[in-house]
Amino acid sequence: MANKTAQIERLQTLVQENLPPKCALSPIGGKSLEAQPFDGELKTMATPRTHALENALMILEVLRRIPRQRYTTSTQIHQQLLDAGHSLVVRTVQRHLEAICGRFAVECDTRSRPYGYRWMEGAEGLNMPQLTTSEALLLQLAKSEVSQLLPSRTLASMAPLFSSAQRTLEATASAQVERRWLQKVQRIPDGQPLLPPQIIPEVFETISEALYLERKLQLHYRNVQRQDKQATVWPLGLVQQGVRLYLVCRFDGYDNQRVLALPRITQAQMLLEGFPWPQGFDLDAYCREGTFGISRGQQVHLRFEMAKIYAQHLLDAPLSKNQKVADVDRDWVAITATVADTELLHRWLRSWGEQVRGIHTHPVENTQSH
């Protein structure tokens, strides 16, 4: 609460500086402005007060657009505000930024023009309203899930949010049940655990921003033969598979999608040029086609037999919507399903060893044996 009050006071000070003399706002908790004697002329609401409110809201909008890890400029913030429907000149943004740097934990890089602005390391930024225990619990669970996936710098930018969640759970007497809940939930990998590959923080941030803004990327990367390559790409999506992160993209000048592993990207630059979103592209459908299971390019009818004592999990989590399970005898069941023919599927079948037998696949397009 103290931090929130301090932020409001700093905002109020900034607003007061933009008001004409004798029109300053009342202090926090103070009384409203005194009424003026009626002079016989009907007037509208006080313009300075309205102007102060507009300034306060605009300062908040500017603060919201200051990043944590990279620098942004007044021109970039100005363009974002214009895109959001606000009407103002870049000089107004510059004036707000100059005032903000004097009262908030925002640093200004004056080494070159245009100046760059970002939140100082460890700064809380704009505090959110007090988290409920349920919201704090959700954030703590999210932290445990992403801590091994995202670059350390990205996680550091989220530290104030996670800290707020931790404080809520520790300070609230009624949160005892929620605190215990964190010890009641565990996620176990269904394969060999792997350490997450190293991703260059600047690369991750640049790709994420270009993906959001739908702008082209200039990339330096290593292909599977470990050869250094360069390409201009259209970022279409980020996909997580286990501990690995992939960029789904389209190379400039081509009409098909490619997949690049983020750890293999050594440099990334976001270009000013945007790109037309590929007509009909759907990331979810693209993933379902089997690309990340090393697709063999087709759907197949799959049939195999599995020892009954191991087949129960396929009743809980079927291979497909049309999966069918039938008894063969007391110890074995026959399973049929339509699935993508991927290397991942065949690895999974082989992993069961002698508990799986009689594997047959037939392409969906015809009945010829695969």
Q: What is the mean pLDDT of residues 302-321?
A: 92
Question: What contacts 24+ positions apart, CB below 8 Å, involve 11-15?
Answer: 11/56, 11/59, 11/60, 12/56, 13/103, 14/55, 14/56, 14/59, 14/96, 14/99, 14/100, 14/103, 15/52, 15/55, 15/56, 15/59
pLDDT at 332 over 90: yes
pLDDT at 21 over 70: no
Q: What is the pLDDT of residue 16?
A: 52
Q: What is the pLDDT of residue 180?
A: 72
Q: What is the pLDDT of residue 209?
A: 85
Q: What is the pLDDT of residue 269?
A: 94
CATH number belonging to the domain at 2-29+45-119, selected among 1.10.10.10, 3.90.1640.30, 1.20.1510.10, 3.40.50.1110 = 1.10.10.10
Q: What is the pLDDT of residue 155?
A: 67
Maximum mean pLDDT: which of 14-18, 300-304, 346-350: 300-304
Q: What is the mean pLDDT of residues 94-117?
A: 89
Dump pLDDT digits (tens) for 129-186: 566 767 677 777 777 776 656 666 666 667 777 777 777 777 655 556 666 766 777 7
The more confident residue out of 172 and 277 is 277
Q: What is the mean pLDDT of residues 340-363?
A: 90
CATH number belonging to the domain at 291-363, selected among 3.40.50.720, 1.10.10.10, 3.30.70.1150, 3.30.1360.200 = 3.30.70.1150
At the second CATH level, the architecture of 201-281 is Roll (2.30)
At residue 17 the predicted structure's pLDDT band, cuts being 50, 70 and 90, is low
Report d(CA 277, CA 249) in Å as an integer. 11
CB neighbourhood size of 216 (10 A): 20
Please name the residues in contact with 339: beta carbons below 8 A apart, sequence gap of 6 or more: 299, 300, 302, 319, 320, 345
Q: Is the pTM of this model over 0.75?
A: no
Q: What is the pLDDT of residue 329?
A: 93
Q: What is the mean pLDDT of residues 310-325?
A: 92
Q: What is the pLDDT of residue 235?
A: 95
At residue 105 the predicted structure's pLDDT band, cuts being 50, 70 and 90, is confident
Given a contact cutoff of 8 angstroms between Cβ atoms, the answer to whether 337 and 324 are in contact is yes
Q: What is the mean pLDDT of residues 226-251?
A: 91
| Longest distance between any two alpha carbons in the chain, whole Å | 99
Q: What is the mean pLDDT of residues 83-112?
A: 88
Dump pLDDT digits (tens) for 185-213: 777 767 777 777 888 888 988 898 898 88
> Domains of the chain: which residue ranges?
2-29+45-119, 133-181, 201-281, 291-363
Dump pLDDT digits (tens) for 31-67: 333 333 434 443 344 455 556 667 777 888 888 888 8
Q: What is the pLDDT of residue 171?
A: 67
